[in-house]
Structure 1
Amino acid sequence: MNSYTETKFFIGDIPYQMFIQYYRPRKDRNSVPIVLLHGAFHTGTCFVKTPDNRQGWAVYLTEQGWETYIVDWPGHGRSGFVPDFPTMPYQRVINATVALLQQIGSAVILTHSMSGVVGWQIAQTHPKLIKAIVGIAPGPPANLLPVIAKDSHQAFPEDRPRIQSREETKKYFTNSDNFPQEVFENYFCSLVAESARISNQRRNVEGQGLYICHPQILFDIPILVITGDQDPRHPREVDAETAKYFGSDFIWLPEVGLPGHGHMQMLEHGNLAIADLFINWLHSKGL
Structure 2
Amino acid sequence: MTETPIALARWASFHVAGREVVVAGQPPREVTFTPGSAPARIDPNGTYLVGGMYAQVMEPAPKRGAVPLMLWHGGGLTGACWETTPDGREGWQHFFLRAGWEVVVSDAVERGRSGWMRIPEETGGVPVTLTLENPWERFRIGPGTPQEGRVFEGQQFPADAASWRNFILGCVPRFTTTDALTLEAYGALLGRVGPSVVVAHSQGGFFAWRAAQEWPDMVRALVLVEPASTGLAEKVAALAGIPVLMIYGDFIEGDARWPTIRARGLDFAAAVRAAGGQVDVVDLPAQGIRGNSHMIMMDRNSDQVAGLVQGWLAGRGLWR
User: TM-score surpassing 0.5?
Assistant: yes
Do the aligned partners of 1:35 and 1:108 also contact (CA within 8 Å) in 2? yes
Matched residue of 2:293: which SS?
coil
- CA-to-aligned-CA distance 1:117-163 (integer Å, 9 cap, x gap): 11111111111011010000112237xxxxxxxxxxxxxxxxxxxxx
Do the aligned partners of 2:197 and 2:221 also contact (CA within 8 Å) in 1? yes
Q: Which moved more, 1:250-259 or 1:229-238?
A: 229-238
Q: CA RMSD in A?
A: 1.7
Do the aligned partners of 2:110 and 2:117 also contact (CA within 8 Å) in 1? yes
Match of residue 9, structure 1, among 4, 14, 31: 14
Shift of residue 238, structure 1, vs aligned partner = 4.3
Match of residue 285, structure 2, among 246, 254, 258: 254
* Aligned-partner Cα distance in 1 for 2:68–2:82: 15
* Aligned-partner Cα distance in 2 for 1:6–1:230: 38
Q: Which moved more, 1:255-264 or 1:83-92?
A: 83-92
In structure 1, the residue matched to 2:315 is: 284
Do the aligned partners of 1:227 and 1:239 also contact (CA within 8 Å) in 2? no
- CA-to-aligned-CA distance 1:18-64 (integer Å, 9 cap, x gap): 11111110213322111111010000000000011101001110110
Listed as ranges, the gaps of 5+ residues in structure 2 are: 19-48, 126-176, 274-278
In structure 2, the residue matched to 1:114 is: 203
In structure 2, the residue matched to 1:195 is: none
Percent identity, aligned pairs only? Answer: 31
Do the aligned partners of 2:230 and 2:264 also contact (CA within 8 Å) in 1? no
Relative contact order higher in (CA < 8 Å, ≥ 6 apart): 1
The 5 A counterparts of 1:80-95 are: 80-85=115-120, 86-87=124-125, 88-95=177-184
Give the greater-gyration-radius structure (CA). 2
In structure 2, the residue matched to 1:38 is: 73
Amino acid of the structure 2 residue aligned with 1:99:
A
Find out whether 1:234 has 2:238 as its counterpart. no
How many residues align? The count is 219
In structure 1, the residue matched to 2:269 is: 243
In structure 2, the residue matched to 1:178 is: none
* Aligned-partner Cα distance in 2 for 1:274–1:2: 20
In structure 2, the residue matched to 1:99 is: 188
Q: TM-score, normalised by structure 1?
A: 0.72
The 5 A counterparts of 1:54-73 are: 54-73=89-108
Listed as ranges, the gaps of 5+ residues in structure 1 are: 143-210
In structure 2, the residue matched to 1:124 is: 213
Structure (1/2) with the larger helix percentage = 1
Do the aligned partners of 1:34 and 1:108 also contact (CA within 8 Å) in 2? yes
* Aligned-partner Cα distance in 1 for 2:198–2:60: 18
Shift of residue 286, structure 1, vs aligned partner = 1.0
* Aligned-partner Cα distance in 1 for 2:63–2:239: 30
Structure (1/2) with the larger strand percentage = 2
Do the aligned partners of 1:130 and 1:221 also contact (CA within 8 Å) in 2? yes
Do the aligned partners of 2:6 and 2:98 also contact (CA within 8 Å) in 1? no
Do the aligned partners of 2:6 and 2:97 also contact (CA within 8 Å) in 1? no
Do the aligned partners of 1:120 and 1:212 also contact (CA within 8 Å) in 2? no
Q: Which moved more, 1:277-286 or 1:7-16?
A: 7-16
Q: 1:71 to 1:135 in 2, by over 3 A?
A: same
Q: TM-score, normalised by structure 2?
A: 0.65
